[in-house]
Structures are given as structure tokens and as C-alpha cells.
Structure 1
């Protein structure tokens, strides 16, 4: 275990790995060996959320007060909501806090499925999931593809068309993996 910790601790300092660990609802901040790396990941997470383009939804847009109720006692509330200032940094801090305070899910839960279920609670985090959790954990699959390409494309088979190579490499993938 000590050897694994030493070998993998380097990855904890890389931004992409930090973000992927923090975004995974099975780990969040508890997935880090060093708390300083967890805090740096949270800061990076907040910055990404603050720079995320905000989509205006019906709930974010102020509703104009009904003209028949203009002379009521509560007109000031309508005016305040119309003049409400949106601050992306504050929204990012609140979203980060809400996400990190949610309970860590079980190890058998698929993070992408979890995000699909919780998309309405965290719409900005969904794009970060797509950005950071789509990266394969290993390069085994790509190595297999390169190896297979080396077997197909040789000095004797230099006249293969690109279309045929793609068919051999990518469309028949399931047949040679089994």
C-alpha cells in the first residue's frame, strides 16, 4: 500500500486529476491523501464554476409585477427582484458548498448516472463532469488499438484505403476483444 501511495501521490498534484477526484461523488475531498491538494482542487473547482457561462432560465428571470397590484404595500419587493444583481463568483461559491456538503455516495454508484439524476440541482457541474470525467483512467484501450493497427498496416499492406483501415480497427473492435 505504501508503494502505491508513493507512486500515485504525484497525480494528486495535477489539475485534471484533482478535478476528476473532486467531481466524483464517491470521493470528493476525502479522495485526497493531502488536505492541501483537496483545497487546491476546491479552489480550481470554484474558479471553473465562476467562469461557467450562466444560462438564463425561467426561474432566474424576474417577473414583472402585475399592473393591477402596483399600488400595494409590497411593490418594493418586485422592484428589488427586478434590480437583483447576479454575481457569478457568489453563485460558484454557493454551488461548490452545496455540492461538497452532500453526502458521499457508495462505491457501487456510477458517477455519470449520479450526475444525470442530480442535473437539476447542479446544472453548472454537469458540464464539468463531461469535461473531466470523460477521460479514461488507463491507456490500455488506446494501446490495444495501436497494436492492432501495427498488425494490420505493414510493409506488405501499404495499399489499404483509410476507410478499410477504419473498418478493420474500429467497427470490428468487439469481435477481437472477446
Structure 2
């Protein structure tokens, strides 16, 4: 029975490895990274997409930066020359993205009970671009159950017999009662 259930789970969930949002969310999760994929080819494609997203994000960030020449306080012209040479060197965002990706993927996996967003908060100075990607992909809800509940409840509240309800009252009935239900269910657990 256990093997049948595991096979069924693998069969049902394997198509999600090929979808870009779930692929990115898996590789960005510090608990899974490349290990979270059933097939190594999907993990490699996810790493490639991850690298492309990092490059695009770094290109966007570098185009927003303004190049302001710092005023030299050195009295030695040798240091002025070195500073000017360093400023004139072009940055390659693709290589920066590859380095950031490798540094992130080569770190050991996090504990399974670690919240990925808290992990990112602790490590945000090491991975500022990856933090932006995490916030982008981790905000996607895994299911639509909550929104379906709200639609069903709205259909029950706003009916043919209650067509004159004000918008504010509908919002109070839908969302205030839902929040009260959520807080009461959390305290009973």
C-alpha cells in the first residue's frame, strides 16, 4: 500500500517539476535546492533558469545605479590611478550571477524545520539578489483553497434575498468573520 501511494504521489507531482514557478521555488528553498527534484535534468534546467533570473535582476540593478565619481582624498597619485582603473573596469553581470548561484547552491542544505524566509533574513547580506527572487517566488500560494472558501461564502452571503447589502457590510461579513474563525481555530489547536 505504501509503495502504491508513493508511486501515485510521484506520478501526480512529477509534472510540477517542469513548471517554471515551482521549479524556481524549489531551487530557491534552502532546504531543497537541487536535491528537491526527482530528475537531475529538471534540477539542471532549474539551475539554468535561476542563473538567467539572477542575471536579469543584476542587469536591472546595475542599470539603476548611477556612477558617481568619488572625490579622491589620497595624496599619492598611485592610489588614484588604481582607484580609477578599478572604476573603469566593466562588471559582467552574467559572471556575477554564476558566482552568486554557485555560492548559494554549494552551501549545505538547511534543516527541514527552518523557515526559508527567516533563513534568507539571516543570510541576506550574502545573497541580496537571491533575496529578491525568494520574495518573488515564495509569495505564490501553493493552493487556491482559501480563495475558494471566500467565493463560496460570498455566494452564500450575497444571494437573491440579500441584494441590498452594502459593500462594507459584505466585506465585514466575509473577512472579519474569516479572521475570527482563523484566530479561534489557532487557539484551539
Normalising by structure 1, report the TM-score.
0.89
Which residue number in structure 1 is paired with residue 18 of structure 2? 13
Q: Structure 1 segments of 4 or more deviating over 4 A? A: 60-65
Which of 140, 146, 149 is the equivalent residue of 1:144?
149
C-alpha RMSD of matched pairs (Å): 2.1
Which residue number in structure 1 is paired with residue 87 of structure 2? 82
Q: Which has a greater percent of helix?
A: 2
Partner SS state of residue 54, structure 1? helix
Q: Unaligned stretches of 5+ in structure 2?
A: 1-5
Deviation at 1:151, TM superposition (A): 1.5
Q: How many residues align?
A: 174
Deviation at 1:169, TM superposition (A): 1.2
Q: Unaligned stretches of 5+ in structure 1?
A: none
Instruction: Name the CA distance, whole Å, in 2 between partners of 1:3 and 1:172.
Output: 37
Deviation at 1:31, TM superposition (A): 0.2
Deviation at 1:18, TM superposition (A): 0.1
Cα displacement string for residues 24-64 of structure 1 (whole angstroms, at most 9, x for unaligned residues): 1110000000111111111111111111122678xx97755
Which residue number in structure 1 is paired with residue 133 of structure 2? 128
Which of 148, 161, 179 is the equivalent residue of 1:156?
161
